[in-house]
């Protein structure tokens, strides 16, 4: 059985739409990182922490040691600086102004762990380029409230999809889980898609094109 150690509705949505049956478990961990730690190292470390915390909680609830727990963390990185979740609307505006007309990187750490001690962890990278954003656009987007619980102060699956000029790599990685990578890993762990009806219909468009109406960069 697959266990998602996350409170993120976006990660749960991605797993559900990917056709996976899973259970949810809390994974409360400190997201503080040592000063100077590289973003890739940090995001992987946090994913492992969440997976380990989720496994501990799941086993306390009576879960099977053969169950597989998924932990994940996503970071937006600009000029090697991590843009976390904004604490205030003003901070959200500042982040979006920095991202305007710039290319940034989205890193998602993914960790899978079982009670038997098996652990696999990696980081998936997506490169995103924003078009130039006007002050009015930024203020309106921040006023909507959408940026406030998201790394980098935006959600590509929402209104901010209109800000994106191009993307290189996995779109779902930007949302919270790199489903292409994750599906391969889960298959190796013996976890297959079961809810086939929920899988995305192939209409000839990429996920990026459906979200934004723009063509992605290979």
Q: Is 117 within a domain?
A: yes
Nearest-angstrom CA–CA distance, 165 and 143: 22
Mean residue pLDDT across the chain? 89
Q: Is 16 within a domain?
A: yes
* Average pLDDT of span 103-115: 97
The confidence band for 148, taking pLDDT boundaries of 50, 70 and 90, is very high
> What percentage of the chain has pLDDT greater than the value 70?
89
Q: Residue 143: which domain range?
A: 2-212
The confidence band for 27, taking pLDDT boundaries of 50, 70 and 90, is confident
Q: What is the pLDDT of residue 196?
A: 53
Q: Is 112 within a domain?
A: yes
The number of distinct structural domains making up the chain is 1
Counting Cα atoms < 13 Å in the Cβ hemisphere of 183 gives: 16
pLDDT greater than 70 at residue 203: no
Q: Is 80 within a domain?
A: yes
Q: Is 143 within a domain?
A: yes
Q: Is 41 within a domain?
A: yes
Which range of 26-35, 56-65, 126-135, 149-158 scores highest in mean pLDDT? It is 126-135
Q: What is the pLDDT of residue 218?
A: 38
Q: What is the pLDDT of residue 48?
A: 97
pLDDT greater than 80 at residue 197: no
- Known catalytic residues? 73
Nearest-angstrom CA–CA distance, 125 and 168: 9
pLDDT greater than 80 at residue 202: no
Q: Is 197 within a domain?
A: yes
Q: What is the pLDDT of residue 145?
A: 96
CB neighbour list of residue 35: distance below 8 Å, 6 or more residues apart? none
Q: What are the pLDDT digits (tens) for 44-95?
A: 999 999 999 999 999 999 989 889 999 999 999 999 999 999 999 999 999 9
* Average pLDDT of span 1-17: 93
Q: Is 217 within a domain?
A: no
Nearest-angstrom CA–CA distance, 210 and 157: 10
pLDDT greater than 70 at residue 205: no
Nearest-angstrom CA–CA distance, 11 and 3: 12
Nearest-angstrom CA–CA distance, 106 and 102: 13
Nearest-angstrom CA–CA distance, 177 and 175: 6
CA torsion sign for 136, 142, 35, 5 is: negative
pLDDT greater than 80 at residue 173: yes
Instruction: Read off the CATH number of the domain in which 101 is found.
Output: 3.90.950.10
């Amino acid at each position: 059985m697959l266990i998602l150690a996350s409170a993120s509705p976006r990660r749960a949505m991605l797993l559900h739409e990917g056709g996976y049956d899973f259970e949810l478990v809390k994974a409360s961990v400190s997201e503080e990182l040592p000063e100077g730690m590289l973003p890739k190292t940090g995001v992987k470390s946090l994913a492992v922490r969440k997976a380990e915390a989720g496994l501990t909680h799941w086993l306390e609830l009576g879960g099977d040691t053969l169950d597989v727990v998924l932990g994940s963390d996503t970071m937006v990185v600009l000029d090697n600086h991590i843009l976390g979740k904004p604490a205030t609307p003003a901070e959200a505006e500042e982040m979006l102004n920095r991202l305007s007309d710039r290319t940034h990187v989205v890193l998602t750490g993914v960790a899978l762990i079982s009670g038997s001690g098996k652990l696999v962890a990696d980081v998936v990278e997506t490169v995103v380029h924003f078009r130039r954003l006007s002050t009015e656009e930024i203020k309106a987007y921040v006023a909507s409230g959408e940026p406030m619980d998201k790394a980098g102060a935006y959600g590509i699956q929402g209104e901010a999809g209109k800000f994106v000029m191009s993307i290189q790599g996995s779109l779902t990685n930007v949302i919270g889980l790199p489903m292409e990578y994750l599906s391969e890993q889960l298959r190796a762990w013996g976890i297959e898609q079961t809810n086939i009806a929920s899988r995305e219909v192939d209409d000839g468009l990429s996920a990026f094109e459906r979200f934004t109406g723009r063509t992605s960069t290979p």
